[in-house]
Structure 1
């Protein structure tokens, strides 16, 4: 790894200045100008942070061989290299994410989330700003990659991070549903079992994503976690329980419906 650099981040007042612009008629100015231009025009200010970035690392852009969303898993792994020492406690800092989105990763943001001029204000608010958990985990161009990558890395073996991330990003709804349910992260054994099951079906067996079924599956696990001490259940038994719930709720292709849980 190359030498890490401390990140200069926008001040809270500067972020608020940009937020007001995005809510009004100046969203296009934020979207179409680089950070240096915005700093000069609006007297934005920076402060030195304790966050460290590897300046040699970037995020992969789409080309003729990849759809934009197909690179989410790759870039979720990559953002962990870019910000190797970032913790969950620090990753709620909106100033960091706004600075990265408009600065170092502006090209990636515009490539991954091309703008529609008819709704540019909402577009900028969703993908540049990150004031809530939902925005950070679902919408923000960069933060969503870090939160998803961090979640998966925490609960799976290193050899399984790649396929687990492929499963995690198999549909934009899946990561939202998992990250939005705190109980699924507070019981590590349950998180591991869920990631193993969704990897098996959505990646290994290429089962089509069933939005209604997945939400019902995770709701069932939420309910189960509220009435049983799942953290004390042996890992192999818990894996069977999770897979059974998955098969009960998620629509499967005919050739899988009759196969036994393994």
Structure 2
């Protein structure tokens, strides 16, 4: 749907029209056909002052697979680059990317057919109706960029990156499974990149430290700590110590 390589977003009116089309659609095919018409109207598109070129395709892997997200996140981040917070939280951008730029990936990774609550999936993964933290880390495309942006270490400053010489080492650790993403980023403490890095270093020890239950409990405790201590002012060393102090006991730690 892109006539040139300029990045695009949708208008607010287009997002509203997509929501309305979803409400009345009887089947996924009906909805996607209406969505194509809505997005294809020139008046519903905003051309951004960015020329990003042609994006590399994303690999959805097998149906319902989460394994390829670890590779897709760096691809999306490399394509969009560093975004200021306003653009990175713009529901119009992410909705356009899901329905147009990365449409093939979305239909394979987050298919609407053979899903009982397909309208719920559209609202969670395709159509971004608001841009608070939860939607941003659930939406099919924005989650890839946001997790990468929160964990990217271009100068290889931190232990996991240094160990393997990979600036996306923390990104790969974060994307081990869907529940880990939820545990890391759905609580207030997950808004701090260095907190996330320290928790991922802790989880990378494996065993009981790497379980979803352990990571979720640790993030809950750190969020409670955030209620009386500003985590944003602690350096990496202090945060690492705080993570060790806050972590629940692990039976197989030895």
Q: TM-score, normalised by structure 1?
A: 0.76
The equivalent of 1:226 in structure 2 is: 227
Alpha-carbon distance in structure 2 between the residues aligned to 1:26 and 1:52: 37
The equivalent of 2:150 in structure 1 is: 151
Alpha-carbon distance in structure 2 between the residues aligned to 1:67 and 1:29: 19
Q: Return closer, same or farther for 1:92/1:166 CA change in 2, 3 Å cut-off.
A: same
Aligned residues of 1:52 and 1:86 also touching (Cα < 8 A): no
- Secondary structure, counterpart of 1:70 in structure 2: coil
Q: Return closer, same or farther for 1:171/1:56 CA change in 2, 3 Å cut-off.
A: closer
Give the Å deviation of 1:119.
1.8
Post-superposition Cα deviations, 1:200-257, rounded to whole Å, max 9, x if no partner, equal 23xxx365853433222112122233334556666445423313433x25x45x3xx2
Aligned residues of 1:27 and 1:124 also touching (Cα < 8 A): no
Which of 85, 93, 96 is the aligned partner of 2:93? Answer: 96
Alpha-carbon distance in structure 1 between the residues aligned to 2:149 and 2:215: 22
Aligned residues of 2:209 and 2:215 also touching (Cα < 8 A): no
Q: Return closer, same or farther for 1:238/1:208 CA change in 2, 3 Å cut-off.
A: closer
User: How many residues are aligned here?
Assistant: 241
Aligned residues of 1:193 and 1:238 also touching (Cα < 8 A): yes
Question: 1:124-203 counterparts in 2 under 5 A?
Answer: 124-132=122-130, 133=132, 134-138=134-138, 140-153=139-152, 157=157, 159-186=165-192, 189-198=194-203, 200-201=204-205
Give the Å deviation of 1:26.
4.7
- Asked if residue 10 in structure 1 is aligned to residue 16 in structure 2, the reply is no
- Secondary structure, counterpart of 1:7 in structure 2: strand
- Secondary structure, counterpart of 2:48 in structure 1: strand
- Asked if residue 109 in structure 1 is aligned to residue 114 in structure 2, the reply is no
Alpha-carbon distance in structure 1 between the residues aligned to 2:39 and 2:233: 53
Unaligned runs of 5+ in 1: none
Question: 1:14-53 counterparts in 2 under 5 A?
Answer: 14-26=14-26, 28-29=28-29, 32-33=32-33, 36-39=36-39, 45-53=44-52
Give the Å deviation of 1:46.
1.4
The equivalent of 2:121 in structure 1 is: 123
Q: Return closer, same or farther for 1:208/1:18 CA change in 2, 3 Å cut-off.
A: same
Aligned residues of 2:202 and 2:209 also touching (Cα < 8 A): no
Q: TM-score, normalised by structure 2?
A: 0.78
Aligned residues of 1:98 and 1:129 also touching (Cα < 8 A): yes
Alpha-carbon distance in structure 2 between the residues aligned to 1:46 and 1:207: 48
Q: Return closer, same or farther for 1:224/1:43 CA change in 2, 3 Å cut-off.
A: closer
Give the Å deviation of 1:32.
4.2
- Asked if residue 68 in structure 1 is aligned to residue 65 in structure 2, the reply is yes
Aligned residues of 1:137 and 1:144 also touching (Cα < 8 A): yes
Aligned residues of 2:70 and 2:175 also touching (Cα < 8 A): yes
